[in-house]
Amino acid sequence: MKFTVIVNEGPFIHQAADSAYHFVNAALAKGHEIERVFFYYDGVKNANKVSEPQSDDRDIVKLWGKLGSEKGVDLVVCVAAALRRGVKQENLAEGFRISGLGQLMQACMDSDRTIVFGD
């Protein structure tokens, strides 16, 4: 099965980013395909490389980036939502790319299922 995943919440005040991350890993481990992970609304904060969690906390930004780099998962950040929240190319974490809603629509059309994490 081919999935598109939408992450609408940031990394530090909501469980959505972690749940999405674990879902993507589990789906890949079961042999499913991830068409794209699209970060929208506050979810774009998952791509901000200048965020620094406390030392005893997980670094979900780096975990997402590693997933994108090592497993070839396409991590797309909505350009309009990113600019509103101060996420720009110069502070974009490794493994992510900025694009528009067209990428989300295309991924949804090319997938069997679209799953949304967060409001």
Strands across the sheet containing 96-99: 96-99, 75-78, 33-39, 2-7, 113-117
Q: Which two tokens stand for residue 27?
A: 């789906």
pTM reported for the whole predicted model: 0.94
C-alpha angle 75-11-61 in degrees, rounded to nearest 5: 50
Average pLDDT of the chain is 94
pLDDT on residue 101: 95
Residue 107, helix vs strand vs coil: helix
In 3-state terms, what secondary structure has residue 34? Answer: strand
User: Does 108 participate in catalysis according to the annotation?
Assistant: no
Domains in the chain, start-ordered, CATH in brackets? 2-117 (3.40.1260.10)
Catalytic site residue from 44, 47, 78, 87 = 78
The per-residue pLDDT for range 16-73, each reduced to its tens digit, is 999 999 999 999 999 999 999 999 999 999 999 988 777 777 889 999 999 999 999 9
